Amino acid sequence: MEATVILSDQSGVAHARRSAVALAQSLGFSERVQADAALVVSEAATNILKYARSGEIHLAPYSNHADRTASGIEIVAVDRGPGIVNVEAARKDGFSTGGSLGAGLGTMERHSALFDFYSLAGSGTVLLARVASKAAGDAGKRPWTVGARSTPKLGQQICGDAWSVSETGDALWVTLLDGLGHGPLASEASHRALDVFSERARDDSPGDVLRAAHARLRSTRGAVMAVAKFEPATKSMTYAGVGNIIAIVNTGEVNQHLVSTDGTVGYNMRLVRQSHADWNARSVFIATTDGLSTRWNLSRHPDLLAHHPVVIAHVLHRDFARDNDDASIVVVKAA
């Protein structure tokens, strides 16, 4: 149900608006949700064309529920434009960023259950808006938030990377995979590992999940894989990875690099080591496949970690992803 609208001329605004309404309708959301999504998407798309000249709108359902039923529409606008110079003025109702609807960020925020953006002069803007079908209530609150971005190699329709989350009692499990190569066979390996993750995450350790996946993937081309378990009650996390996935935990001032061992799940996985790290109210976990440049770092993006994980993921993916490979990033943030 996800959709990406590429913006390069004015026709893209109408396309993005229609896509947002169609997604809301397909999920059975009310006319109010459809109208709010249309307003936010139209303003975001118009602003991109006015100042950045080009960009993208990503649309997807999001869920605040344990059963993953849709809670609303997630809208992410991404550009490489000049950035927003006067953030406070842009937040005011009726402030037009030039030839737009005149709604401004303030009105977009009022029509959203969640609204966040990161803008850096000379680098562009990433904007997140979630239009809710109804108030989330206490049931929607979690001690963590998650964001991700995954794209296939340029010219491919199927991504060989995959990721997933699983909530088990007071713990959050996350996995990130990169099937060897690209296309359908890489995707097959990754998704077979996802099946193992969904079956085993409740009772096993991250290392045990990797060992089970290794046995299941022997008939595939294999994958690199990382599994992390977050336990807010004990203020700790556990990580295990095999292959060239990069993972860090930032605790506010320092990046702790989590070590993945050499090998390929399903082929030549000889050793699994688990790493442990503190997990507190300031912690942020970031994991990337090798489709993001190994030179990615946070120093180019002041205060980025103060933002929603969806924004963090899209900013880093925009600035460091390579189009000659599948590229994925998963971000977990303590709430």
Closest CA to 329 of 135, 166, 149, 205: 149
Whether residues 238 and 263 share a domain: the answer is yes
Q: Lowest mean pLDDT of 38-42, 198-202, 245-249, 288-292, name the range.
A: 198-202
pLDDT of residue 96: 55
Whether residues 298 and 313 share a domain: the answer is yes
Q: What is the distance between the alpha carbons of residues 113 and 170, in angstroms, rounded to a whole number?
A: 25
Whether residues 115 and 97 share a domain: the answer is yes
Q: Lowest mean pLDDT of 84-88, 103-107, 136-140, name the range.
A: 136-140
- Tell me what the mean pLDDT of segment 172-180 comes to: 98
- Tell me what the mean pLDDT of segment 5-25 comes to: 97
CATH number at residue 315: 3.60.40.10
Its domain, for residue 95, covers 3-139
The residue ranking higher by pLDDT, 76 or 93, is: 76
Is pLDDT at 259 greater than 60 in this prediction?
Answer: yes
Whether residues 81 and 186 share a domain: the answer is no
Whether residues 172 and 308 share a domain: the answer is yes
H or E element in which residue 215 lies = helix 206-216
Closest CA to 28 of 174, 133, 121, 150: 133
Whether residues 121 and 133 share a domain: the answer is yes
H or E element in which residue 174 lies = strand 171-179
pLDDT of residue 134: 78
Give the end of a domain, one of 139, 174, 197: 139
How would residue 66 be classed by pLDDT, with cut points 50, 70 and 90? low
Q: Which two tokens stand for residue 257?
A: 């690099």
Tell me the β-bridge partners of 330.
Answer: 148, 287
Q: What is the distance between the alpha carbons of residues 43 and 105, in angstroms, rounded to a whole number?
A: 9
Give this prediction's pTM: 0.94
CATH number at residue 42: 3.30.565.10
- Tell me what the mean pLDDT of segment 294-318 comes to: 95
Is pLDDT at 136 greater than 60 in this prediction?
Answer: no
- Above pLDDT 90, what percent of the chain? 79
pLDDT of residue 94: 58
Asked if 190 and 266 touch (Cβ cutoff 8 Å), the reply is no
Whether residues 58 and 179 share a domain: the answer is no
- Tell me what the mean pLDDT of segment 222-233 comes to: 98
Q: What is the distance between the alpha carbons of residues 197 and 208, in angstroms, rounded to a whole number?
A: 10
Whether residues 125 and 192 share a domain: the answer is no
Whether residues 214 and 86 share a domain: the answer is no
How many structural domains are present in the chain?
Answer: 2
Give the end of a domain, one of 111, 139, 167: 139
pLDDT of residue 154: 95
* pLDDT tens digits along 92-121: 665 554 444 445 788 899 999 999 999 998
Whether residues 300 and 318 share a domain: the answer is yes
Whether residues 60 and 90 share a domain: the answer is yes
Whether residues 130 and 42 share a domain: the answer is yes
Task: Quote the mean pLDDT of the chain.
Answer: 92
Is pLDDT at 59 greater than 50 in this prediction?
Answer: yes
Give the end of a domain, one of 118, 139, 160: 139
Is pLDDT at 269 greater than 70 in this prediction?
Answer: yes
